[in-house]
Amino acid sequence: MKIVLIGASGTLGRAIAAELSVRHTVVGVGRHSGDFHADIRDLQSLRALFQRTDKADAIVNAAGGVHFGPWNELTPEKFAIGLRDKLMGQVNVVLAGQDSLLDGGSFTLTSGILSEDPIRFGACASLVNGALESFVRAAAIELPRGLRINVVSPTVLRESIESYGPYFAGYKPVAAADAALAYSKSVEGRQTGQIYKVW
């Protein structure tokens, strides 16, 4: 397969690339690194990307940021960071990429455990992750040409525990390589509308 991987240079992206590149051709995409550059917040940037990458069997997104912070400091602008980046960025990937997938191709997006198991300082992430999972369920009903769409919901990664550990007290982290297996299941399997939990 030819797989376009957005966010390929991140911790999770590198693990996904390592898992899939053994069997497939992985085209790495990042804002500033990779084989191609694109900004998921910009629909036109993604459309230009998919014109350059040509037809693919799968598009995987492991990019997208959200704001973490205490409730009493949250503002519409801080919620908008994740709404524009992680949520609409991934919706943009689907909107821009659907015509670049071969018939029966797949999208795999990324949410996270906070959709179901919220934490202090994580309201923005919970909002975005829950919305992404609802979007995937709905899009699976309507995507044309047998296109599939799933979302992987990982817990905190072992490799990221130094940065995010204080937010996730009591959570058992998973290795990025273990999370990457769920992306393989989505890309190489046949299911659609699924939430693959890696907790």
Distance CA 40, CA 151 (A): 16
- Reported as a single tens digit per residue, the pLDDT across 160-187 is 999 888 899 999 999 999 999 999 999 9
- pLDDT of 32 higher than 90: yes
Ramachandran class of 131: left when φ > 0, alpha when ψ lies in -120 to 50, beta otherwise = alpha
How much of the chain exceeds pLDDT 70, in percent?
100
pLDDT at res. 157 = 97
CATH number at residue 42: 3.40.50.720
Of the pLDDT bands very low, low, confident and very high (cuts 50, 70, 90), residue 143 is very high
How much of the chain exceeds pLDDT 90, in percent?
97
Q: Domain containing 194: what range?
A: 2-198
Q: What is the mean pLDDT of residues 192-196?
A: 98
CB contact at 8 A, 156 and 165: yes
Of the pLDDT bands very low, low, confident and very high (cuts 50, 70, 90), residue 68 is very high
No. of helices (H) and no. of strands (E), the chain: 7, 7
What total of structural domains would you count in the chain? 1
